[in-house]
Structure 1
């Protein structure tokens, strides 16, 4: 393995600002380069083209993926103004019947067809003797599908980074062994089996994900399957991070959440606890603010705002894009907001897959060096990491416990004694070191 330095990296969303599946691989690049790895990256057209090494961007061949990629390409080129709305709506109308036909015939997630150009162009490079290792990472499972095809056709060494579990279990007793009704879920189950059968090495980002993959695939870590292991992805210190920043208490207790929201990961959980806090401490009504960055509000959050009349308490800032005036990326602007927060909210969700998942935002939160309030679900690994760092810790569904945690935060803030973060952030160098030491 020492001489196998030419890596073809398959990553559909490479260099997409603010995307977790992108940051997972792009943060590794400097350490791979330092280890004398010579990367060639294949991605969709959705991200910014990298100039440090060969980076080829391909349009997907299917209509649904084309529409998805085209939207992001236009946003990168022209912003999200009038031209964006005109072009994307026109393309959506023109592609609608073909997308319907694709969904009817296959039923796969939209990015599946990107595997086709990635495979064709990858095959040419491998047959020309320009590639030693294929490294698929996702995100979109099309990268793994292209890697599988390349492995089967050429026999090249294939290493796989499973960003999110491919098989989504429904409850604690479900091990993911039954045949799903959904066609995309059936294919992901098949793809997981193929990865473990044909890949040389595969790694997952949590103990839970590795455990359940092994339960479903008993050939994992045997001569008949891939060598599987766990890697904490970590995160690099984002640009605009101020190492010497001293936190300033203001007239408001600012609780800040960053990232996507949904019914299973809703700020309604916080607002329900807010109602209990205000009943006990009426002054909190005018002094606590909840800030939401990065995504539209979910239905449950909007319902809670209306129910409690909390329009002034929850402030939705939306997605922070690149600032054309300062030149700061969305990621740089986000970390500045993180560092100015009193407490960072980490919502884990309430689905069963939380047992196999740690939000990538957690690793960025650690760099911000602010107290974290984690509301977790069935994940001892995440609970331990939060506890070791002195975080406020609650569990999803524990209404009393969540209310008590918010009360503790309120009282600590009033005394200007919010919990000080402990320990060190988890960087990316440790992840690259683990990967290279394992596969060599």
Structure 2
């Protein structure tokens, strides 16, 4: 393929680690510049848990540092972590290009959304996608809902929370039952991507979960949330990259994922803001900056600077 197509750049992308091995081998054989899309970190202090796998991944990382023309990360936190881990690397070789969304897919989804207003006083909040029991642990959130319900601050008559396609319903259903919040929280099945986007576009607010252990990661759905133009209540560490990105977009409805009291306070404030029509949303300009059509130009720039000068 290299002999036939004569590419200017070899590009490999994670999370399939062997893709980087293939990219490395092709680079070493051909001399063509190698651009590595690391995305999130390959290794952390306690990841991978398998010591052999971690050893192999660290070796791959060292090859990236040694041979790649550029390495791309999805967050500033991931880039900073790798610069600290490999302090001798030239900083300009590590680049941040965030995740994003596809504008054409969103426009297609919008065609199927009913924009008529409802007379119902019940607000609907949704979290779309996997809820990991550790990295996105909803325990404190469930506890906060339970106490707010007991206090009469919320009820199933005025608030509907949809957790769509959690991937761990068998774990969460008993937790809802124990806290008597099954009337507040619905564990909904997975739907098509188009249907999931239509749901984001039609509900009153969107929920985001991210633990402090993932402070240098940002859930890719955040950029879809921006494009959906709906208020976001984020349960995350205020020192992490997710909170920073929300703040840069002008959104400040943020509570500590592990702090029941903070969640109670922020949830009540968020609901009041929704009812009064003053909840904040990301601007169309902020959302557009994360469209894949916009981000592709940044990839092109990275590829261009990675190509060896001719002659």
Q: Same fold (TM over 0.5)?
A: yes
Q: What secondary structure is seen at the aligned counterpart in 1 of 2:155?
A: helix
String of CA shifts for 1:60-98, please: whole Å, max 9, x gaps: xxxxxxxxxxxxxxxxxxxxxxxxxxxxxxxxxxxxxxx
String of CA shifts for 1:145-185, please: whole Å, max 9, x gaps: 21112112222221111122101234xxxxx9xx9752222
Match of 1:257 among 91, 114, 127: 127
Match of 1:411 among 272, 289, 298: 272
Instruction: Summarize the Cα distance change of 1:270–1:341 in structure 2 as closer, same or farther, 3 Å threshold.
Output: farther
Matched, 1:333 2:195: yes
What TM-score, normalized to structure 2?
0.85
String of CA shifts for 1:400-421, please: whole Å, max 9, x gaps: 11110111123334x4425031
Match of 1:317 among 179, 188, 194: 188
Matched, 1:127 2:3: yes
Give the drift of 1:219: 3.2
Q: How does 1:168-179 map to 2 (within 5 A)?
A: 168-170=44-46
Give the drift of 1:342: 1.3
Matched, 1:393 2:254: yes
Q: Which residue of structure 2 aligns with residue 155 of structure 1? A: 31
Conservation of the 8 A alpha-carbon contact between 2:115 and 2:202: no
Give the drift of 1:282: 5.2
Conservation of the 8 A alpha-carbon contact between 1:344 and 1:365: yes
* Structure 2 unaligned residues grouped into runs of 5+: 305-311
Conservation of the 8 A alpha-carbon contact between 1:277 and 1:406: no
Q: Which residue of structure 1 aligns with residue 60 of structure 2? A: 191
Q: Which residue of structure 1 aligns with residue 309 of structure 2? A: none
Instruction: Summarize the Cα distance change of 1:386–1:278 in structure 2 as closer, same or farther, 3 Å threshold.
Output: same
What TM-score, normalized to structure 1?
0.61
Give the drift of 1:391: 4.4
* Structure 1 unaligned residues grouped into runs of 5+: 1-124, 171-175, 321-329
Give the drift of 1:334: 0.8
Conservation of the 8 A alpha-carbon contact between 1:257 and 1:344: yes
Give the drift of 1:266: 3.0
Q: How does 1:65-84 map to 2 (within 5 A)?
A: none
Q: Which residue of structure 2 aligns with residue 361 of structure 1? A: 221
Give the drift of 1:286: 2.9
Q: Which residue of structure 1 aligns with residue 102 of structure 2? A: 236
Match of 1:438 among 293, 302, 308: 302
Q: Which residue of structure 2 aligns with residue 381 of structure 1? A: 241
CA distance in 2, matches of 1:299, 1:188: 32
CA distance in 2, matches of 1:307, 1:140: 39
Instruction: Summarize the Cα distance change of 1:254–1:135 in structure 2 as closer, same or farther, 3 Å threshold.
Output: same
State the structure with bigger RCO (CA 8 A, min sep 6), 1 or 2. 2
Q: Which residue of structure 2 aligns with residue 44 of structure 1? A: none
CA distance in 2, matches of 1:317, 1:169: 34
CA distance in 1, matches of 2:201, 2:5: 48
Matched, 1:281 2:141: no
CA distance in 1, matches of 2:89, 2:295: 21
CA distance in 1, matches of 2:201, 2:157: 23
CA distance in 1, matches of 2:62, 2:145: 45
CA distance in 1, matches of 2:302, 2:82: 19
Q: What secondary structure is seen at the aligned counterpart in 2 of 1:220?
A: coil
C-alpha RMSD of matched pairs (Å): 2.6
Match of 2:93 among 208, 213, 227: 227
Conservation of the 8 A alpha-carbon contact between 2:123 and 2:204: yes
Q: What secondary structure is seen at the aligned counterpart in 1 of 2:161?
A: strand
